[in-house]
Chains A and B, each alone.
Chain A
Amino acid sequence: MADLINLTIDGVALAVPKGMLIVDAAKTIEKDIPVFCYHPKLKPVGLCRMCLVEVGTPKIDPATKQIVKDEAGATVIAWQPKLTTACTTPVSEGMSVRTQSKPVIDAREDVLEFLLTSHPLDCPVCDKGGECPLQNLTLAHGPAVSRYDYADKQHNDKHAPLGDLMFIDRERCIQCARCIRFQDDIADDHVLQFHNRGRAEEVITFSTPGFDSYFGGNTSDICPVGALTTADFRFKGRPWELKTAASVCGHCAVGCNTALNTRLNTRTGVREIKRVMPRQNEQVNEIWLCDKGRYGHHFTHAANRLTHPLIRKDGALQEATWESALQLISDKLKTVPGQKVVGVIGDRLATEDAWLFGRLMTDVIGAAPAFVSPRTASAYADVARAAGLGADADFKALGKGDVIVVVNGDVEEQAPVWFLRLRQAVVDRGAKLIVAHHRSTKMHRYAAGIARFAPGAAAQWVAGQPAELAALKDARNAVIVFGDEKLSGHNARALAQSLAHALAEAGHADKPNSGLVPLYPHGNTQGVCDAVDPSRGAMPESADVAWLAGVGDPADAPRAGFTIVSELFLTPLAAAADVVLPAAAPAEREGSYTSGDLRAQRFWPAHPAHGESRPDWWAFQEVARRMGKDWSFGGPEAIFAALAAAHPAYNGLSYAGLAAVKPQWPMVGRAEVNFGGTVYDNTAGLGARTARVPVGGAAEAPVEPTLADLTRPEPALYRAGDLIRHSAVLAGRLV
C-alpha cells in the first residue's frame, strides 16, 4: 500500500496508514499510551495531557534539505524539546516516539497527581470503581503518594441529576469533555456544555428536560471516571461481582450487540440483569447503544411475568402443569382440520422459534396458515430480503459519492443507532442524504435533498419517479432506508417494491453495499418472516383453533373457538385465551435474531428462566411430538442448522459461524481495558450476514390510505409497549 507511514515506537518499527494518530499506532503494537480525554471514536482534543510522549523526526540538514545520517548510516533523530500529545499528533514518515523514557514517565506521574488533587478518591462507593480508567492508570502510572492536603479538597455536588437517567458527581469529573464531545459529535444532541472556568469548570446540561438525548447512556460508558452514572445502575453492584452474557437487543431492527450484566438479587432469590452494556460490533452498533436498549431490560424481571401454564377451567384461567397444557393443546389440534387452525407469531421471537412454528403449522398440523404480527411489517419482508444489503455491507463504508435515501421513516425514533451511523456517513464522510417524509425528522438536518408527500402517500411518491431519486443514478452505492409509517401492509409492500425497482434501475441491485434497509418495528421481524414465510392472504375472520405466540396487537388475532397464547405477560389476548404458555424471555434462553440489514446474530442466556417459563421452540416441539412427529431438536443450534439447510438466505451459516470473532478497529479492549470506555470486548460473536433471496411476483400499485392507516400513531422510541413499560426508570419518557 502506498500510503503507509513508517515510524518507530520505543525502538519497534511499524508501518501504519497515513493520518493515524500516534496513540492509535502504538495500540496496534500493543503499547498502551495512557489517555483520558482521547477516545478512538471522538475527535482528538488533547486537553488532559496524559498522553504526552517524546517525539522526534529525522533531522534535516538546512543547507542540503537531506536527512542527516550518523557515521553508522542511521538516521539522526531531532527530538522535540517539549513533550507532545500522542493523541493529537498524526504519524509522519521516519518519526520516532519514546513512550517509556524518564520525561514521559515523570509527566504521567505529574498529570495524575494533578488530576487526583481534585478527585474525591471515594472509589469504594463509586459505581465505576473496578472498571475505572482513572483507577487503572493511577495504579499503572501514578505517583505512590500525593503531596496534596486531603482535607483541602474542594467539595462539589456529589449526586446531581443531569437528567432523569443520568447523574453527575462533580467532584469525580476530570473535565475530559468526552461526554460533551459525544453529544456534539456523535449524537448531535447539543445538551451538555462546560460552565464556568478554571477549577470551577463543570459539565452542565442546558436542555429542558435535562440531558434530553436518546444516547445519554453512552456518556456513562465513555466517562473515564465515575462522574457520569446511570440512574438505572446506581449502587446495583460492583463490576467484579457481575456476570456477563452476550446478547442482542431486540427492541428495534438494528440488532445492537449487548452484554447483559447479571447479579443475584437476595430479595427475589434469582439472578437478574443489573445493566445492559454495548458490545463492540463495528458493523452493527460500533460501541453505542440507545437508552431504550440500555434501560429497557426490566421486563425480564417484572413481578407479573407468567410463571406457570394457565388453562381455562370453569371460565377462569387456572395454573396448570406443562404436561396437562401441552396434552390439551395437542388433543385439541388433533381434532380439527389443519385449515381451520391459524397461527400468528410475533416478530420478537427468535428465528428458531419462528421456523419451528412454521413447520408446526404446515408439516404437523397441516396447511394451517401462519401469519406474522405486525402484519404491516411482514407484508414487505420478502421484498427487503430480496433487495437488502449485500454481503459485507457496512454503513461505515458509506461516504463521498454514496447516496443515502430515507423514505417515510424516522431513523432516530425507529432505529437510533442507525441514526448515529448514517449521520456520520453524511456529516463526517460526505455521503449525500435525501430525506422524503410527510413531516420533519431529525434526519432532515443533514439532508442535501428533501421531498415531501402527503401522509400515507410514500409509495405514490416513489411511483411518480421524483427528481430527488435521480441522484441514485450517479451514486457509487445507494442505501435506501424506509419505514411503514401511516401505511397499510399493501402500500408498504408497494413502497418496498417500487424502491427496490428504483435501486435496480439505477444499477445498484447487485452491489454489496447497496440495498433496502427497512425500519422494522422489532429486532427480529426479518428473521421471523424468513422462517415462517407468512401467508399473504387475509386473516380469516374466525378459526377453530388459533395459536398466538408473542402477538402484541389484538388486531392481528383472529377470533377462534380455542385460543392458545404463548406470552411473557398476561396481556389482554392472553387473558382471553383458553391455554396460556409462559415463554422464556430472550435473556433466559438461546437463539438468534436477524436484523433489518440482514445480519443473523446469536444471543446467549444470562440467567435461568423465570418460574416454569420455557423457550417457545420447546413448546412447539413438545406439541409436535405429542401429535406424532419425531422432532428431537436438542436446542436452537440444531434448529438453526435445519433452517440453514432449508432456507437459501441462511445456507452455509451455523451457530459456530455466528459466534466467530475477528479483530476489530478501533481496538477498544485488550490489555488496557478502558481505552475506549467500559469494557466493550466482543468475544462472543459478530454474527454473519444472510444472503439475498430473489422474490417473484409483479409490483403492486399503491392504493389510497384508509382512515385507519392515517390515524396510526407516529413511531416513537419510547412508545409504551408490553416490554419497556416495565422499566420504571424510563417512566418519564414513555409516550
Chain B
Amino acid sequence: MAKHLLLRDLDIPNIREIEVYQANDGYAAWHKAVTTMKGEDVLGIVKDAGLRGRGGAGFPAGLKWSFIPKDVFPKYVVVNGDESEPGTFKDHQLIRGNPHQVIEGTALCAFAIGSNLAYIYLRGEFSEPGKALEKALDEAYAKGMLGKNLFGTNYSLDIRVHYGAGAYICGEESALLESLEGRIGQPRLKPPFPATNGLYNKPTVINNVETLANVPLIVHNGAAWYKAMGTEKSTGVKLFSVSGHVKNPGNYELELGKFSIQDLLDMAGGSSTGRPIKAVLPAGSSSPIIPAANFGAKLDYESMGTIGSVLGSCSFIFMDDSVNMVWAARKMIRFFKHESCGKCTPCREGTNWALKLYNKMLSGEGGKADIDLIADVNKQIIGKCFCPLGEFATSSMTFTLKHFKQDYIDFVEKKMGGSPEFLAELARDAHATHGGH
C-alpha cells in the first residue's frame, strides 16, 4: 500500500501536531481557498471529485452542499462524529491520529457554503479522541487557522466540539441536530430536510468525519487527481474497519472498487481461529450479512448493491463458522432494542418483541413457531419506521433468516438453546439492562 491519504498518522508520526501537519502540506488548501478562491469554487471541486458521503448512505457530498440556500443566514456545518455503528472505528482513528485534516475539511466545507460556525458532534464516549481534537482546535486557533478575519480576509470561522450522550440514533442526522440543540435525540420529520431547516431551523450541512477528511486533499490536489482513484461512481479512497475473527483487525485505507471482500480478508491476515470464515457484516450490525460465497464482490457502492448488501460505513465484522447466527442475530437485536429511540411504534415495540423471541430461543423454550414469529415480527417492522434505524434493525433478522435459515432450524431441532453459556449470557444481559432499556 502506498502512502495513506487519510490515515496519515500511520506514515507520519505526530501529524496530530499542527507543525508536523503544516510541514506536510497541512492547511495549504485552506489557506489557498480562503485567500484566493470563492466558496462556489471549492464546492465545484468537491462536486467534480464525485466524493460520496462516507457515513453510510453514500450521498454525493458536493450535491448535498449545493442544496444549501445562498441567501439564508446563518448557516451551519455539523460534522457527524457520532460513529456508533458496532464495528466502526475509522472516525475514532481519524480524530485521534489526524485531527487537523478533519478540522481543515470542516473548515473548507464551511467556506464552501458560506457558513461561519461549524460543530463537530462527537459521541459521548469519545473522550480521548475528543481531547486530541480539542487540542488540535486550540492549536489551529493559535496559528490563526480559525477565528476572526482569517488570513486578512473578512471571512471568519469558528469550530466547536460537542459531545453527545452516547446514543446510536444520534448518528442519524436529524436526531443529531436535536441532540445538538439540547433536546432528546429523536429524528425529525422530513421534509423539511436539514439543507433548508437544519440546526436551529437554519440551513445545515451534515457530513461524516471521514467525508470531510477527504476534502483538503481534493481541494489541494484537484478533482481530477481524486477521481483517478476508485471507480467512476465510487471515487477516492475509503477506510475499512475490520474486526471479528481476523488475525489483524484494524483500519484499512483502500481505493474503492479495486479490491474484493476476500482481498480485504486476506489483508487482515485471514481467519484468526483457523476455522473457515462463514460470513461478514459489511457495515456493522445494520447491514445485510454476506455469506462467504459472495466474498468475490468488489468493495464499492454499486458492487455491494448487486449482492444484496451495502457498503455503508465499511465496518467489516468477519465471523467464522463457530458463530451461530441465531446468537449473532440476537446480539444485534439486543443492540437495536437498546438503541431504539422510542419515537415510532414499529421500532420501539418491534425490537422489544423480537428480542424477547430471541431470548426465548436462547433459553431453550423456543420452537419452530417462534422462527416464523420472528420472521413475521421482522416483516411487520419493515417499511413502517420513522427513520432508517428501524429499518436497519430488521436487516439482522431478514438476512440471517435468508442466508442461514438452517442455523435457526438446527437451533430448535438440536435443542441448542438453554445451554449454560446462553443462560449465563441472558442472565448477564438481564442484569446489564437496568433502567429497562
Contact = CB atoms under 8 A, between A and B. Distances in A.
Query: Do chains A and B interact in one complex?
Result: yes
Contact of A196 (B337, B351, B376, B436): B436
A77 to B, nearest CB: 19
A54 to B, nearest CB: 11
Interface stretch (B18-26, B289-297, B377-385): B377-385
Contacts of B186: 194
A197 B169 contact: yes
A118 B384 contact: no
Contacts of B435: 196, 200
A199 to B, nearest CB: 4
A199 B436 contact: yes
Q: A-side binding surface: helix, strand, loop or mixed? A: loop
Contacts of A149: 356
A114 B350 contact: yes
Interface string B321-338: 000000000000000011
A113 interface: yes
Contacts of B185: 197
Interface string A96-117: 0000000000010011011101
Contact of A47 (B350, B376, B386, B436): B386
Contacts of A194: 184, 186, 342
Contact of A49 (B341, B352, B385): B385
Contacts of B337: 198-199
A539 to B, nearest CB: 57
Interface string A419-442: 000000000000000000000000
B342 A200 contact: yes
B380 A147 contact: no
A243 B350 CA distance: 41
Residue from A175, A195, A197 having most chain B Cβ neighbours under 10 A: A197
B104 interface: no
A82 interface: yes
B341 A154 contact: no
B342 A197 contact: yes
Contacts of B189: 44-46, 88
Given A45-B189, A46-B189, A154-B436, A198 B348 contact: yes
Contacts of A193: 184
Interface in A123-157: 147-149, 152, 154
B351 A49 contact: no
A503 interface: no
B83 interface: no
B345 interface: yes
Nearest to A196: B437
Nearest to A152: B356
A114 B437 CA distance: 17
A399 to B, nearest CB: 20
A83 interface: yes
B384 A52 contact: yes
B353 interface: yes
Contacts of B436: 154, 196, 199-200
B346 interface: yes
A148 B355 CA distance: 12
Contact of A174 (B339, B345, B350, B356): B345
Nearest to B188: A45
B349 interface: yes
Contacts of A195: 184
Interface in B347-384: 348-353, 356, 373, 376, 380, 383-384
A38 B351 CA distance: 23
Interface in B423-437: 435-437
A84 to B, nearest CB: 10
B5 to A, nearest CB: 37
A47 B353 contact: no
Interface string A62-102: 00000000000000000000110000100000000000000
A47 B343 contact: yes
B340 interface: yes
A175 B344 CA distance: 8
A277 B347 CA distance: 35
Interface string A197-227: 1111100000000000000000000000000
Contact of B384 (A88, A107, A199): A107
A469 interface: no
B373 to A, nearest CB: 6
A450 to B, nearest CB: 24
Nearest to A103: B383
A197 B345 contact: no
Contact of A83 (B344, B383, B386): B383
A576 interface: no
A330 B271 CA distance: 109
A367 interface: no
A197 B342 CA distance: 5
B180 interface: no
B340 A197 contact: yes
B435 to A, nearest CB: 6
Contacts of B380: 110, 113-114
Interface in A39-68: 44-50, 52
Nearest to B336: A198
Given A107-B384, A197-B167, A197-B340, A148 B345 contact: no
Nearest to A156: B436
B298 to A, nearest CB: 27
A418 B337 CA distance: 44
Contact of A111 (B346, B353, B376): B346
Contacts of B383: 82-83
A49 B384 contact: yes
Nearest to A45: B189
B187 to A, nearest CB: 9
B342 A196 contact: yes
B368 to A, nearest CB: 14
Contact of A175 (B169, B339, B342, B351): B342
B396 to A, nearest CB: 16
Interface string B23-44: 0000000000000000000000
15 contacts: A44-B189, A45-B189, A47-B343, A49-B346, A52-B384, A83-B384, A88-B189, A107-B384, A117-B352, A152-B356, A174-B345, A196-B436, A199-B436, A201-B341, A201-B348
Interface of B: 167, 169, 184-186, 189, 337-346, 348-353, 356, 373, 376, 380, 383-386, 435-437
Top 7 A-B pairs, shortest CB-CB distance: A201-B342, A114-B349, A200-B437, A200-B436, A110-B380, A198-B340, A199-B352
Given A49-B346, A199-B337, 17 more contacts: A45-B189, A49-B345, A50-B345, A111-B345, A114-B345, A114-B349, A115-B345, A115-B349, A118-B352, A175-B342, A175-B345, A175-B348, A197-B167, A197-B184, A198-B339, A198-B352, A199-B340
